Structure formats: structure tokens, C-alpha cells
Structure 1
Amino acid sequence: MPQLLIRHSTCIMLQYSYRSPLPPTPRQRSRQEWLQNAVSSSLPPVRWPNKARVALWICPNVLHYEYLPPENAWINAWARVPAPDVMMYGRQDFANRVGFWRMLEAVDRHGMRCTAVLNAEALIQNPSIRDAMVERDWDYLGHGINNTRFVHGLAGTEEAAYYRRMRQIVHEQTGKTLKGTGGPGPQAATENTPDILAQLGFTYHSDWFHDDMPTPLRVRSGRLISMPYAMDINDSPFLGSAFEAEDFVDMVKRHFDVLYREGEHSGKVMCVSLHPSLFGQAHRIKYLEEIFEYLRSYEGVWHATGSEISDHYMAHCYDNAMAYLNGVGQ
């Protein structure tokens, strides 16, 4: 059998599908207003603590999928078959029963600092995972309340209430206040999301995937930045595209090498996004160890959390970047 077919047999199945025809969503804006066109290399240099070239954040996903989610007008939460999809639900449940704990052993062995990409309900549904993260003082990046309900079509007040509830659950369960968030499920958002997040006091939004360093977002009030999360250095789409763990290791190394070289002139951010349902599998865990060993072998790397990166950027880089962008825009 050809090698490609062997690899394809290990791929994950598409979790979501979009309904057709899609109902319209509210439209009050004719264009995106938050990101200003600017060549990244022309912005004022970013300097990380101790002259680090790369700010690295490791992001295990800690998720909660509903067995029978309510109907949604835009997205099928389970794409393979109508709910209940016992097989795919079970695959996601593997993450919290087995995969998380196998990955945690590797994280502990290599002293990796983590920012959990978190469905808030996962803290309630999986108290042992919650306690393990709290014990290790992990940081948290919001990923919605669960991974089977979305924010498409919510009015501004409804969306704000959604994020308040998400943040409330995380604070009640962990004692920490979320500083950053992305959308639930497949990075769902509305046209008002950045403004709402800034109004609520969030400092970063992780859904933009547009740069290798944080960037100011022009919100109507407050301050908000986009944070480089990982679309490519993300095991979910990668292992779902006929590649395997050894290929992912190679890509991580190549990606890091370029950012490390470029980071001599202006600090970069590298995120490694991991899903326990995938890299927590027995046949893949040794490759996660290899990734951690490689990233730990370099000096000049700031092993940080999302909150730490955001806090440093806001305190030391944001004003210079905004001054430059304001000048370009005149």
C-alpha cells in the first residue's frame, strides 16, 4: 500500500460542517476596522525579557464536547453523522480520560509552561484536570464555554453576556481572570467581537493568525491586541491532512529555526497548539517529547504564557506600535 494511504488512514475526521444555505448574520460594517495595513518588519522592534528572540507559548487544548448539542442554524457540531455521533464523541472523550494525562507527563518531564486553550465547561466536567492545571499554575486562553455551541448571529449584548459567563466560570474554578480569548468551536466570531472583548477588559484576541508578533487592534474603546496563535503549528489541521507526528516535529523545528533567526532583530512569538485526542495517543507521544527537547535546547527563548506575553507587550511595545501606525495612517 502506498505510504500516503497508510498515513491518511490515521487522520482525524472533520469535526464541523456548515449548513447550506447559511442564514444571514447581522451586518452593520462594510469592512474590517481593527487591523491597519502595515509591513510587519517596519513596525518598531519588539524586545522580550532578557533579550529573548522568541516568546514561546505551549497551548494544550482542554475541551468539552456535548453529546447532544442543540441545533445551530450555521454549523453542524458533529459532521460525520447526526448527533449523537458516538464514535467521534468517544474520540474527544479520550482526550480527557487518557490523552491529557499522557501529555501532562511529557510536559512535567520537560518543565514546559502551558496556556490551556480552554472550554470553560471542561473545568466543571473534568475536575481532576482542573486540579492538575491549577496545581501547575497554568494560564488559560478562552475558547468559549464549550466546543459545540457558537456565537454566530448573537446580538452585541448576548455576545458580551456569553464572554462574561465564560470568564466567570474560569475565575470560579481556577481563581484566574482570563486575559485572552478566541472564539468557541472553529474560532467563531461576530463583526462586533473585538470591540466587545476590549470593552470587557480582555487584552488579547487569538483568532487573527495574521502575524508572527502581537499587533494592536483599533477597537472603539480600551486596548486590545491580536496574539499569534497557531494555524500551521497546530496538530489538529496538520494531522487531519494526511501527515503524521514525525512530519509535525519537522515542521515545528523548521518554523522555530526561522523565527529564532529573525528574532535577533525583533522578537517573535511562536505558539505550539496541541490536542490531547491527537498527541496524547500512545503512538505519537514520543514525538511530543522530541519537540519539547528541541525547544528546550536553545537559549534566548522566553518560555512564557499568553498572559505574560500580552502583559509585556502592552507595557513595553503597544504605545510605540500605535504611534507608528498612527503616523502611517496620516
Structure 2
Amino acid sequence: MAEAQSADPGLYAFQPYRNRPRIVWPGGKTVAVWVAPNLEYYEIDPPANPHRKSWAKPHPDVVGYAHRDHSNRVSHWRMAEVMSRHGFPGSVSLSVALCQHHPEVVEDGARRGWEFFSHGIYNTRYAYGMDEAQERAIIEDSIETVQAATGQRIRGWLAPALTHTPRTLDLIAEYGLDYTCDLYHDDQVGDVKVTRGRLASIPYSLEVNDHYGFFVYNMSPRDYADTLIRQYERLASEGAASGTVMCIPLHAYLIGQPHRIAAFERVLEHIAGDGRAWIARAGEIIDAWRGQQAGDGA
């Protein structure tokens, strides 16, 4: 028993899926759908982190850098136009340095009414090995830079390259952020245990992330689109009992390629036309959920 207890990091309470307070989404919708474009900046030759290499090839990795740079030159615009055409705002996982390197991309998202949260400064700078002062500096930089670039104060966090320290969740809650995307443990919003303030976990997804779909599972565009539709259909059905959340995490240099974008557009058409989806931004989902919690004016 003692071993089982010590192995649990205690990040959140255990709640069986079918024994929870009911969640109701606006308009009686059964599933909240949010799209999370990762607008990122990768350094071609970043400082070495002793815990993890930035590129599989020896630096500088021109191929890896240039492949990802397609996002900011071409495929962001292709992806964003399809999303806007079907009424899907983005909730952007932002490499904050993009505000300086390619402000046009950030400005385009802001004009479309997209929400921004931090994905660290660069996606080639990892949290592994950081001390508390370094981690605080990244959080503060994220808040200040996004505020200056977009007028928004960030409300959420997705750790750069999904790298963390044991203090990350406590720190972002201390700075007043509302949600983390770094826990992949549920299909509904839930509370995270933090030392100060409060923090919610919003469902993000590795399973239907386009990076995993194309790089890990080797899906064709058609297979990936079918996977997203199956994910949506199941969550919309189960959400009739208690509202679920579907996240579609994207990387424009993948989903915005000419041979993939039509399959993705088919998914958006399906979801928008179904009638059960509340198409929302991440912060709106957190606010609707918080409003139903005891002590939050429910």
C-alpha cells in the first residue's frame, strides 16, 4: 500500500468517468470542440540541453528546421483560412519568440479572434534541468510578450516540447494562469492540485495530434481525418450524459500541406454541420466549466 501511494504524484483526484457531477455546455451541446494550432519557432542551432538533443541530426539540422518553417511561410495561412471558413477559432499553443521572429503570423491569429497561450519561448528550449528562477523567467516573459503583441494575458500553458519540472504546474497557477494542457488523462475538464491558487486541466490530445498521426502512427490524410471524425462521434455521443471535450492539436507544417488540407477540411465540415458541437476557445471552455463548480456561482 505504501508503495502504491508513493507512486501517485497526487496531481489530481481520481474520479471514475460515470460517477461525476454533470457538465452542461451552452446551448445543450454535448461536446466542446477546440482547435489548438501550435504556432512554433524552432532554432536551427539552439543551445545544447544535456538532458535532450534538440535535433536528431548533428546541429545545424537544416532539413528539420526548414520543414517546420513551412508553417510560418505558407501552411499557417492555408490552415487558418480553412478554420475561419468553417467557424473554428484557434486556441494557439504559441512559441512566444514567434512574436519577434514572425509577428505577421501572430497578428493574423489575433485578427481572427484566436486565443493565445504559452508553449514556452522556443520549442527547442527544454524545461529539463531548469532551476526555479529560470522557469519563472520563462513564465514572466510569456505573459509580458504575448500581452504586448496581442493585448491578451495568457491563461494557459503547454510546456515547450512537452518538457516539465516538478514545479511547473504550481508556478503557472501562482502566476494566475487558469489551465494546463499538459495532462492527457481525461476527456473532461478537471481540477489540478496546486500549492497556491487554482488550476484546471483541459483535455489536450496526443492520440489525435497531427504530429502523432503522421509521424508516429504513419496515417494517411484520409486515415487521420477518419480518426478525428470517430473521436468526435464518440465524444459527442457520450457527452449527452455529461459534457465532454475534444481537442484537435495541429501543426500547420503537417496539416497545412497541400495534400492534407482537404481531408482536414472534411473534418471541420462534419463537426460544424453535426449540431452537437460547441465550437469554442480553450478559455471559454474553462469558464463554462468553472461556472458549474460548487463555489463558483453555479
Normalized against structure 1, the TM-score is what? 0.85
Match of 2:101 in 1: 125
Q: Which residue of 2 aligns with 1:154?
A: 130
306-315 vs 89-98, which moves further = 306-315
Rounded Cα–Cα distance in structure 2 between residues aligned with 1:208 and 1:125: 29
Give CA deviations for 1:301-326 in whole Å, capped at 9, x if unaligned: 11100111112222223659xxxxxx
Q: 1:319 to 1:248 in 2, by over 3 A?
A: farther
Match of residue 38 from structure 1:
15
Partner of 1:179: 155
Partner of 2:226: 250
Give 1:235's aligned residue: 210
**Alpha-carbon shift at residue 33 of structure 1 (Å):** 2.2
1:48 to 25, 37, 57: 25
CA distance in structure 1 between the aligned counterparts of 2:46 and 2:294, rounded to whole angstroms: 40
Show the counterpart of 1:287: 263
SS of 2:271's partner is helix
What number of residue pairs does the alignment pair up?
290
Partner SS, residue 123 of structure 1: helix
The one of 264, 268, 285 aligned to 2:240: 264
Matched, 1:212 2:180: no
Corresponding residue of 1:191: 166
* Aligned residue among 99, 105, 108 for 2:81: 105
Gap regions ≥5 residues in structure 1:
1-28, 321-330
Report the counterpart of residue 70 of structure 1 in structure 2.
47
TM-superposed CA distance for 1:115, in Å, is 0.8
Q: Please name the residue that 1:203 is paired with.
A: 178
- 1:93 aligned partner, one-letter code: D
Q: 1:95 aligns with which of 71, 87, 91?
A: 71
Deviation, 1:43, is 1.4
**2:205 is matched by which residue type in structure 1?**
A
Q: Percent identity, please.
A: 32
Which runs of 5 or more structure 2 residues have no equivalent in the other structure? 1-5
How large is the Cα RMSD of the aligned pairs?
1.5
- CA deviations 1:158-194 (Å, max 9, x no partner) are 2122111112111111110111101001x11111111
CA contact (8 A) 2:179 2:200 kept: yes
2:8 and 2:245 map into 1 onto residues whose CA distance is 27
